[in-house]
Every structure is written in structure tokens, then in C-alpha cells.
Amino acid sequence: MLSYDASTQRVRVQPMARKYFKDGTSEKIAPVDAVPVQFPGGAGFSITWPLAPGDPVWLAFSGRPFDAWKHTGDAEAEEPTRRRFALSDCVAYPQGPRSRSGALASATDDTMVLGEDAGAQLRIGAGKITLGTPAAELLDLVDQLIGALQTAMTATVMGPQPLDPATQATLASIKLLLTQIKG
């Protein structure tokens, strides 16, 4: 991918394929502009992420033109031409094919990972959720905060006193629920 416009979700791409001629020569195919990016979504929800020049995209070519759809979203609109599988009739799926050298460090066989490959992530596994970075996990920090509050002392005229029993019970209940979420 050469460039991305987040406001329109369109990319400019340089196809990796080449155009071959009968005399055995070939040339690069010209870049394709304004290719719609197909992020996953449905029922009013979607998942999007930033794209940067150099990110791989997978181009899927339509068997018929869809100029009207690109401009209006009307899938039933009549198309004025009969062209088939043209460069102008493609969509881009972000994070297309990956080479072995481009493998994701965060991929596992038992956890869904959303976030930066080596940065902040939401990880959802069987009965376990984590949110944070390798250096600081949010639920662990909340657990530590609750532990600190459970042992906190309040200054009173009778000297330092623990938090009242109702607050202690609430903290214990939250800590139990947190333990269940953390797995």
C-alpha cells in the first residue's frame, strides 16, 4: 500500500503483479487509486485500525464493475459498462498476505489479541482477559490497588485504623470478581 485516507477508507496501492507481453517483456502495473478498504464489520459495529504506507493489503477483483456502489453504496445500481475483473473494480483487505519475515509476534494458538503487535493489547483467552503491555497489565495493577486499599490505615483521634468493615467487604467482593475475570 502506498497511502491511506482514513476519512474515506480508501488506499492507493501498487500491485505486485506485472503485465507481460507476447515478446517476453514485462512492466509494473501502474498504482491503483481510491481502492475501498474492507474492514470487518456488521450490524452497526466494526473493527478498524490505522494503516501506514508499506502495509500489505490483499486485492480482490470483482467480476463486474461496481462504480455506482463505490459512490452510493447501492449494490443494485445498473453499471454502464460490461468490463470484467478490471483494476478499477477491486477492494483492499488490510493485513493481506504475510511473508515469513512479517509474522506477528503476538499470535498464539489459544488467545485472541487486539492491539499493537509489540505494545498495548487486549488479550482474550479461555476464561482469561488481560489488558495492557508486557511491562504493565491493567488488571494486575487494579488488583494491587485493591490489595493496598485493604491494608490501608486511616488517621483517627484513636490512632491509625483500618477502613470500615463495609468498605473492606466491598473491596473483597471486587477482588473476587477481578480474580474471576483474570482467570
56 and 91 in one domain?
yes
97 and 45 in one domain?
yes
77 and 7 in one domain?
yes
117 and 91 in one domain?
no
List the beta bridge partners of residue 128: 125
8 and 52 in one domain?
yes
Q: Which of 178, 112, 106 is nearest to 146 (CA)?
A: 178
- pLDDT at residue 102, as a whole number: 77
118 and 39 in one domain?
no
55 and 25 in one domain?
yes
- Any idea what DSSP says for residue 74? -
Instruction: Give CA 91 to chain center in angstroms.
Output: 18
Q: Which helix (DSSP H) or strand (DSSP E) does residue 1 occupy?
A: none
156 and 145 in one domain?
yes
Name which residue leads in pLDDT, 87 or 32. Answer: 32
- pLDDT at residue 79, as a whole number: 65
- pLDDT at residue 168, as a whole number: 94
- pLDDT at residue 175, as a whole number: 93
The crossing angle, in degrees rounded to 10, of helices 165-182 and 138-150 is 160
151 and 112 in one domain?
no
- pLDDT at residue 118, as a whole number: 80
Residue 69: pLDDT band with limits 50, 70, 90? confident
128 and 154 in one domain?
no
Phi, psi of 172 (to 5 degrees): -65, -40
Lowest-confidence segment of 53-62, 101-110, 112-121 by average pLDDT: 101-110
The number of folded domains in the chain is: 3
Tell me the helix, strand and coil percentages in the chain, rounded to 5.
20, 30, 45
How many of the other CB atoms lie within 10 Å of CB of 1? 21
143 and 130 in one domain?
no
Tens digit of each residue's pLDDT (9 = 90 or more) over 127-175: 888 899 878 999 999 999 999 999 999 999 999 999 999 999 999 999 9
170 and 93 in one domain?
no
- The residue segments making up the domain with residue 120 are 104-135
